[in-house]
Structure 1
Amino acid sequence: MSELPSGWRIASLGEIGIVQSGIGFPNQEQGLTSGDYPVYKVGDVSRGVLQRNGNLQVAANYVTKRTAESLKGFVFPHGSTLFAKIGEALKLNRRGYVVRAGLADNNVMGYKGEPGVDDRFIYYFLKAQDFSSLSRSTTVPSIRKGDVEEVVVLLPPSAEQTRIAQKLDKLLAQVDTLKARIDAIPALLKRFRQSVLAAAVSGRLTEQWRAQNSATTPDHDAEIWGSQAQANLRIGNSDTSGFGWREVSLGEVCSVATGKTPGRKLAEYWDGGNIPWLTSAVTGSEFCSEADQYVTELAVKDCLLKLFPPGTLLMAMYGEGKTRGQVTELKITASCNQACAAITVNEGLAKREFVKIRLQENYEEIRKQAAGGAQPNLNLNKVREIGISLPPLDEQTEIVRRVEQLFAFADQLESKVQTAQARIDLLTQSLLAKAFRGELVPQDPNDEPASVLLERIRAQRAAQPKARRGRKAAAAN
């Protein structure tokens, strides 16, 4: 900015306030859940700034007033702004606004403006600063008190500081409300997708389609299934049986197999390999078109590895987190390890895409079928026993078409949400930048100029004893 707004002055943080570090606490002082003073740590600061106001009034640890005095800890008063002084950029750029006066541990640093400097103005100013750029360390980023004191502030008149802070409080509250609403949409879309899958496999999604295609009879697939249809299929045990759907198990319409892991100590099985070898980690994606590991042709031959063609559905049988029960579709020919079930659909009996829809819809139930101790697992028999309400082939095709259409709509909306989230983040930074250029609120010629405030702060400091800026005296501020 080439010219300062009317009444503004250039200052440093050190000229208009106090930068103070927290202190270390003996082990015996840890773990208190109540006391006179909260002890703010980096984690408390991080939680504080998850909200716009960043208020810090509750901490995990507390100390008594007597302990605080014995430790000679600096008591950060209401209106102080706390921040991490060590850690990666994300930690260094988080801010907490002190509502309940308290101490801070030695990984936290704080700032309190002198009288006449608006606390919320300073909080927002510090929120707009990138402290990671102040780090001189090449290992663990950290900041020093002197570097913070030298940060340049474009200082408005005191009254304008307050107007800016009040305006930011109002605008950023509105931004937060909007952000909360937009951030809630992905969860709604997840439920929407799940409801689409549920409607697809229950027949609700194609109710009108069946009414318009009433010429289709329950036995129109009889030739496909052959004379053993009645013996092999449990017809009539489902709400869908009345409109030509058949209750089958996965094993009746698919072949289910698994892979194995060649010996890791044999380099000839792995070095220079060109055959994709997959683990259950790939099931986190809708499709799998590449591998992280490869085996050699010798490994395939010696270990009798099965190669599964494109179109194979790969289900994770192991994993306690999200992995177990996930399904991906191969776009490549690949082998896999024993943690995966490779499902090859008999396309004459069922559509691969429909079977995949059923497995995705049944994810939570599939996970419950796992057995074992600390890490429950599925096995091939349990995978084969997964039930499917199977529509006639033409209805399967229609179901797949409708699911893909609805999912494409959800994907488009999700993309727009991501764009909106990015714009909201930029909006916050834009508002802060505008505020500190003097463009957010109008200047008032009747405001006391910042130059007068600076002179008053200098005079006050000159008149006070040097101990004023020490730990004990500062704690009384």
Structure 2
Amino acid sequence: MTHLPQGWEVKKLNEIFNIERGGSPRPIKVFLTNDENGIPWIKIGDIKNQKYLYETEEKIIEEGLKKSKLVLSGDLLLSNSMSFGKPVIVKVSRGAIHDGWLLLREKLTLDKEYFYYLFSSNFMYSFLSSQASGTTVKNLNIDKLKNIEIPLPPLNEQGRIVGILDLAFEKIDTSVELLKANLANLDELAKSVLDRAFNPLGDSADSTESTQNPSTHDAQSPYPLPQHWEWKTLGEIANTSSGSTPLRNRKEYWENGTIHWLKSGELNDSYINLVEEKITEEALKHSPVKLLDKGTLLIAMYGATAGKLGILNVQTTTNQAICAFLHKDLNNLKFFEKFLFYFLLSIRSKIISDSFGGAQPNISQAYIKSLQIPLPKDIKEQEQIAMHLDSVFDKIQKLKELYNTQLQDYEELKQSLLTQAFSGKL
């Protein structure tokens, strides 16, 4: 702000706005109402990075307003805690804000959209973050906020800057929405490819190929299969095994360990090459951990990563939240790990929905063993299907990386424009 254009000023925020904190009637449930004439109750969750607030999820009764803060259409709000520093301009005729919001009501004639963009900039957020207090939940200190110095151009220049940013951001947002649509289409493509891979007859389920072999479809089978395929439960083709966590208070189990020990949080739907922790030979001898070979297929059984998959590229042990799929000593019931990996990926949403226990999914080994698998009898065909899916998913992943890079580029372009705008270079 040392080289601002002529006519620009540097002012403290309290010279421009009266800044007041909201208030919360408690307990809030007593004051909530479904009456369409209720007062919009503005929560931080109502804001999704938009400039204007037109509606709220909840409303409160008039009585609740006595313990809150009234805001009017056109008021500028700034979140004060949790997702702090987030601006929005109110467009409801009247509303109420809790104490997680700050109301900035102008003392001068100004363009509030200029300040919306100012508070949307990364450099302002970084500065506010440095001024915020608290460890787990940060809060903006009003006294510090009042003394923040900001660049203030003349009113007509504020409008000119807003006009340029509006036009540029509209074009950027259009491109961003297109990229997000492309990403969604890639997800749909992946789902379609998986569905077709494991239901090769698809809409032609009544074709000659399926009816020539009635055993491929009966009342217990989800859908018809080609002649050389068969339905098998996972328990018929594989043994399952879970790991364990050696006692943490036994130093001899952990210090200077050389044996990989994998946690369920490390499964990421790909090959596992690196493992964060290691245990000792002593732990392997005296704990119910099992050493799994390279190539073993794994699934997370519970917790935040339930349903996540992985294939080992290293020999390792695992914790108890991971289930491993092991080959049975059978001549005619073989599975190819990557084939089974893709099948489990294709039905993951079903696995999760079937396995909710409490707040998080809890997948049991009994459930896993009961899953029905459409299995080509020839393991070479399983390998061919997996190779085809590898090729398709590799292309999908590369496109996703490209689109996500472009999304990041657009966000950086926005921030570059904001930096130029508030340094007088736009």
- Length-normalised TM-score, structure 1: 0.70
Following TM superposition, by how much is the alpha carbon of 1:196 offset from its aligned partner in structure 2, in angstroms? Answer: 1.6
1:117-140 CA deviation, whole Å, 9 max, x = no partner? 222223223333334256175754
Quickly say closer, same or farther: Cα 1:66–1:406, change in 2 above 3 A.
Answer: closer
CA contact (8 A) 2:39 2:96 kept: yes
Q: Is the 8 A contact 2:17 2:108 kept in 1?
A: no
**Aligned partners of 1:398, 1:113: CA distance in 2, in Å?**
68
* Equivalent position to 1:291, from 275, 282, 302: 275
SS in 1 for 2:326: strand
Q: Any conservation in 2 of the 1:53–1:169 contact (CA below 8 Å)?
A: no
1:339-354 maps to which residues of 2 (within 5 A)? 339-345=321-327, 349-354=334-339
Q: 2:75 aligns with which of 67, 72, 80?
A: 80
Which residue of 1 is the match for residue 151 of structure 2?
A: 153
Q: Who is 2:197 aligned against?
A: 200
Structure 2 distance, partners of 1:313, 1:438, is 58
- After TM superposition, list the pairs within 5 Å mapping 1:79-228 onto structure 2: 79-86=74-81, 91-99=83-91, 100-102=93-95, 104-114=97-107, 116-128=109-121, 129-130=124-125, 131-132=127-128, 135=131, 137=133, 140=138, 142-145=140-143, 147-156=145-154, 158-203=155-200
Once the two structures are superposed, what CA deviation does each residue of 1:438-472 show, in whole Å capped at 9, x if it has no partner?
A: 555xxxxxxxxxxxxxxxxxxxxxxxxxxxxxxxx
1:205-284 to structure 2, matched below 5 A, reads 239-242=224-227, 244-264=228-248, 266-284=250-268
CA-to-aligned-CA distance 1:268-307 (integer Å, 9 cap, x gap): 4344433223343333442223334433322322345431
Q: Looking at both structures, which has the greater relative contact order when contacts are Cα pairs under 8 Å and sequence separation is at least 6?
A: 1
Instruction: Give secondary structure in 2 for the equivalent of 1:27.
Output: coil
Distance 1:429 1:339 in 2: 42
Q: Secondary structure at the match of 1:309?
A: coil
Tell me how far apart the structure 1 counterparts of residues 370 and 57 of structure 2 sit (CA, whole Å). Answer: 51
CA RMSD after TM alignment: 3.9
Q: 1:335 to 1:118 in 2, by over 3 A?
A: closer
With over 3 angstroms needed to count, the CA separation of the structure-2 counterparts of 1:195 and 1:18, relative to structure 1, is same
Task: Please name the residue that 2:409 is paired with.
Answer: 423
- Aligned residue identity for 1:127: S
CA distance 1:285–1:393, change in 2 (3 Å): closer
* Superposed displacement of residue 311, structure 1: 0.4
Query: AA paired with 1:406?
Result: V
Aligned residue type for 1:334: T
CA distance in 2, matches of 1:265, 1:247: 46
Q: 1:155 to 1:57 in 2, by over 3 A?
A: farther
Q: Is the counterpart of residue 401 in structure 1 residue 387 in structure 2? A: yes
* Cα deviations by residue, 1:385-410 (Å, 9 ceiling, x for unpaired): 43332333333232222111111111
Aligned in 2, Cα 1:438/1:195: closer, same or farther, shift over 3 Å?
same
Partners of 2:274 and 2:88 in 1: CA distance: 44
2:212 aligns with none
Q: Using the TM superposition, give the Cα deviation of residue 417 of structure 1 relative to its aligned residue in structure 2, in angstroms.
A: 1.4
**Native 8 Å contact 2:86 2:119 kept in 1:** no
Structure showing greater radius of gyration is 1
Identity %: 24
1:197/1:345 Cα in 2 relative to 1: closer, same or farther (>3 Å)?
A: farther
Shift of residue 174 of structure 1?
3.2
Partner Cα distance (1:47, 1:373) in 2: 27
How many Å apart are 1:312 and its aligned residue? 0.6
Distance change >3 Å, CA 286–CA 16, structure 1 → 2: same
C-alpha separation between the residues in 2 aligned to 1:104 and 1:339?
Answer: 43
The 1-side partners of 2:256 and 2:20 are apart by 55
Which residue does the alignment assign to 1:12?
Answer: 11
3-state DSSP of counterpart to 2:31: coil
Aligned CA distance change for structure 1 residues 101 and 167 (closer, same or farther; 3 Å): farther
Q: Structure 1: give runs of 5+ residues left out of the alignment.
A: 208-233, 441-477
Q: Distance in 2 between matches of 1:362 and 1:263?
A: 35
Tell me the residue number matched to 2:210.
none
Q: Secondary structure at the match of 2:267?
A: helix
Secondary structure of the structure 2 residue equivalent to 1:97: strand
Give the partner amino acid of 1:132.
L
Shift of 1:414: 0.7
> Structure 2 CA distance, aligned partners of 1:313 and 1:361?
15
In the alignment, the residues of structure 2 paired with residue 435 and residue 179 of structure 1 have an alpha-carbon distance, to the nearest angstrom, of 21
1:308–1:333 CA contact under 8 A, matched in 2: yes
> 1:225-253 deviations in whole A, cap 9, x for unaligned?
xxxxxxxxx667663333x2233333444
Q: TM-score, normalised by structure 2?
A: 0.77
Give the secondary-structure state (helix, strand or coil) at the position aligned to 1:306.
Answer: coil
Aligned residue for 2:324, secondary structure, equals: strand
* Counterpart check, 1:306 vs 2:253: no
